[in-house]
Structure 1
Amino acid sequence: MASATFGRASKSGLAAETHNKLQRKYDEARASEVSSWINLVLNDQSVNTSGKAEDFYESLKDGVVLCRLANELQPGSIKKIEMSKMAFKCMENINNFCRAANSMGVPTTELFQSVDLWERQNLNAVVICLESLGRKAGKFGKPSIGPKESDKNVRDFSEDQMRASEGMIGLQMGSNKGATQSGINFGNTRHM
């Protein structure tokens, strides 16, 4: 788990505190649920479902499973999956997955950076992205995870309906029913 494994010096001080805080956010139960969902969609056992950070990382680090998942949800979304274990090829797979996930509706704020997975910087961000993609899977005819997302419900009001509300006083505005500012003495001296 040490950062030195990836050719970098180990973190210290504030960087180490921040890194440890990110690592503590990782939830094995959520990772296990996401792993099981991936296996269900791919119809195989590509991902270890233990939920342990090391198993989750080892199953996904080269990006091949992620690319297969994207292509299963939306065929042809990733043209070429790199099978090489070279770092830049694996990171290319991860980047292609993130682009495909974004095009399938995963918001940019829920995507992760390739180093979050490849260098095991923030596995929680990977789980969040996969959960978000899992919520969208129902739109592609695949099993989904998590709560069902709401559908758009646009309402069109006529001009007469819009004008009808102009004469009403909303209840949020309240009323002053005889209230005055006579008791307020801000800035005034206290008379004894």
Structure 2
Amino acid sequence: MNSAEQTVTWLITLGVLESPKKTISDPEAFLQTSLKDGVVLCRLLERLSPGSMDKIYQEPKNDGECLSNIKEFLKGCTSFRVELFEPSDLLLGLNFSKILSSLVALNKVTADIGVGSDSVCARHSSAHRIKSFESLASQSSLGRSSKLLQNQFRSLVRHT
């Protein structure tokens, strides 16, 4: 699988991108079209870091709302310390390899720390997985607020 196919599979696995009804002949073009309005990216960030999104335009009506979604995603991704892309590149369909690289890096770093679900892009290494995050995740079902969990997760990310 190439990086576009892996990223499509990862996004579908996380439940932030709907599985296409038919086989995709050009995964990169499919991904570029799917991400352009920023909605899938916002869903991804919300999945990886619940409660981190300030405002999401679920059905953006213009380029300004699309750009706002993309910027919100990028702002939220800074805590993951991955190299990011320019918001206008996604909106205008430029430099998609940089966008794809950012998503592959995000997949890898979140897989390494055990966020989301198992990665299909990155090798899963138990040596790199932060076990304390798993115990924090289980505490959330005991009535802990997601905000507390989010703050503890951010603390873990800063110390890795």
TM-score, normalisation: structure 1: 0.56
Q: Give distance in 1, aligned partners of 2:19 and 2:46.
A: 15
Amino acid at match of 1:132: A
Separation in structure 2 between the aligned mates of residue 39 and residue 131 of structure 1, nearest angstrom? 14
| Equivalent residue number for residue 47 of structure 2 | 72
Question: Counterparts of 1:126 and 1:69 in 2: how far apart (Å)?
Answer: 14
Query: Residue 73 of structure 2 aligns with which residue?
Result: 97
Kindly report which structure 2 residues correspond to 1:19-98, keeping only aligned pairs within 5 A, or say none.
29-42=2-15, 45=18, 50=24, 51-82=26-57, 83-98=59-74
Deviations 1:37-87 (A, max 9, x none): 011012652579834332221111000000001001110111221122310
Unaligned runs of 5+ in 2: 129-160
Give every structure 1 segment of 4 or more consecutive aligned residues whose post-TM-superposition deviation is greater than 6 Å.
none
CA RMSD of aligned residues (A): 2.6
Q: Is the CA contact 1:62–1:85 (under 8 Å) kept in the aligned structure 2?
A: no
Shift of the 46–100 alpha-carbon distance from structure 1 to 2, 3 Å rule, reads: farther
Are the aligned partners of 1:47 and 1:59 in contact in 2 as well (CA < 8 Å)? no
- Give the structure 2 partner of residue 136 of structure 1: 109
Letter in 2 for 1:98: L
Q: Deviations over 1:89-143 (max 9, x none)?
A: 101111111111121x133xx2011112110111111111111110122322522
Structure number having the greater helix percentage: 2
2:100 corresponds to 1:124: no
Long gaps (5+) in structure 1: 1-27, 152-192
Identity %: 31
Q: State how far apart, in whole Å, the 1-side matches of 2:108 and 2:37 are.
A: 23
Paired residue type of 1:77: S
Instruction: Summarize the Cα distance change of 1:121–1:47 in structure 2 as closer, same or farther, 3 Å threshold.
Output: farther
> What TM-score does the superposition give when structure 2 sets the normalisation length?
0.66
**Distance in 2 between the 1:73 and 1:128 partners?**
17
Matched pairs, number: 122
The secondary structure found in structure 2 opposite 1:68 is helix
Instruction: Summarize the Cα distance change of 1:44–1:86 in structure 2 as closer, same or farther, 3 Å threshold.
Output: closer
Contact map agreement 1:61 1:117 (CA 8 A) in 2: yes
